[in-house]
Amino acid sequence: MTNSKGIAKQFRPLNVFAHTVLMLGGLLLIYPIIFMFMAGMMSAEEYAKTVMGLFPIAKEPTFKNFMVLIGGASDSQVQTYYVNSILRTLYGLFWAMITSFLGGYVFARLRFKGRDTLFLVLLATQMIPGVVSVIPTFIEFARWPFAGGNYIFNGGKGILDSWWVYLIGGPSINIMGTFLVKQSLEKVPYELDEAAKIDGAGTFRIIFQILMPLQLPILAFIAITTSQGIWNDWTTPFFFTTSDNLQTLPAAISRMSQLAQNPMGLPDYPLMLTLGLGVTLPMLLLFFFFQRYIVQGLANAGIKG
């Protein structure tokens, strides 16, 4: 660190250059968000009449859309979408943390036949694109045993369009998380486990009281990336559910935008953009407060030199 302070003194023009590039680039990157916010202050009627410029300035600014976002409206389900999004994310997050930490522990610390082969197989399946399983998953859910479809080739609607889609389809083994925890745990000296064992700690005590606290940065990283993934996922609700009260916020927006492709339907663009802001903000706050863990977590894991 003393080293980098020295650099700061020697290369002042470089710092000025860096500030300029990072600031201008950053502004360019957040410009769409500013646009969303400004357009959100328009009513649908005003939006339809305005000639869109770089900055849509509402002549009669209204906070109606933002009120809908926060408090819901009599004719909208925004609050349901929010609750669904939050519940789904927390549930998925819970399982992601458990599977990635325990999985990482097993592959880093335990010795059993076929461990490395099994791990390689899991990592290899990580390469198979997710879209490959969307349609078969649809069929699997539609033909779920004891839910109306007991025969794989035809049957009822199974667990489609119900909370089971999220409960069963959400958690699985988080392979990328397992990989990161494994890499990170391998750097923790094994003597630590043995010392705890001599002191009489059981396996699960070692896992949760000794090793887990040391892995907080990497776990925070996994938590942030996982929750972003689940929070922004619109395909699962979009393809596997139809009821309005099962939609999440991003899925609701994608439904509204499908309306836009229909020449008869007039989408409420300002409301759509406001909802988009509503999707973005929680993740933004999460990132802002935990960003140091992202860098630290990545640096701790095995993808460093």
Partner 1 sequence: MKQRISGEGALIGEASAPSKGITKFMRNHKDAVIATIILGPMLLWWALISGFPTLFGFFLGFFEWVGVASTPKFIGFDNYVRFFNDPVYYMALWRAVWIGLLVTGLTIIIGFLVALLMNLPLFGKGIYRTMWYIPVVTSTVATTQIFNIFLDPNNGVINNILKGFGKEPIIWQYSVGWGVFWIVVYSIWKGIGGSALIWLAGLQSVDPVLYEAADIDGANRWQKFWNVTLPGVKPIATYIIITGLIGAVQIYEQVIFITGGGPYGQTEVLVYRILRDGFFDFNLGMAGASSVVLAAVVFVFTVAYFRYATENERSSRKKNARGAHGG
Query: Binders of partner 1 among 2-61, rule CB under 8 A?
Result: 3-5, 7-8, 14-15, 17-19, 21-23, 25-27, 29-30, 32-33, 35-36, 39, 51-54
List own/partner pairs for 250-256 with CB under 8 A and 24 or more apart.
250/85, 250/279, 251/81, 252/77, 252/78, 252/81, 253/279
Binding mask of the shown chain, residues 158 to 187, with x at each position contacting partner 1 by CB under 8 A = ----------xx-xxx--------------
Nearest residue (CB) to partner 1, 90 versus 259: 259
Fill in the per-residue mask, 249 to 278: x = in contact with partner 1 (CB under 8 A), - = not in contact: xxx-xx--x--xx-------x--xx-xxx-
Task: Establish how many alpha carbons lie within 13 A of residue 197's alpha carbon, considering only the half-sphere containing its beta carbon.
Answer: 6
C-alpha dihedral sign at 130, 131, 132, 134: positive
CB nearer to partner 1: give 117 or 243: 117
- Burial letters for 258-279: b for 16+ Cβ neighbours within 10 Å, e otherwise? eeeeeeeeebbbbbbbbbbbbb
Binding flag, residue 198, partner 1 (CB under 8 A):
no
User: Closer to partner 1 at the Cβ: 266 or 284?
Assistant: 284
Candidate list 135, 167, 192, 266; residue touching partner 1; CB under 8 A: 135
Tell me which residues in 92-111 interact with partner 1 (CB under 8 A): 99, 102-103, 105-106, 110-111
CA-CA-CA-CA dihedral for 40, 43, 44, 48, to nearest 10: -100
Shortest distance, position 103 Cβ to partner 1, whole Å: 6
Residue 154 or 243 with smaller CB distance to partner 1:
154
Distance CA 281, CA 232 (A): 12
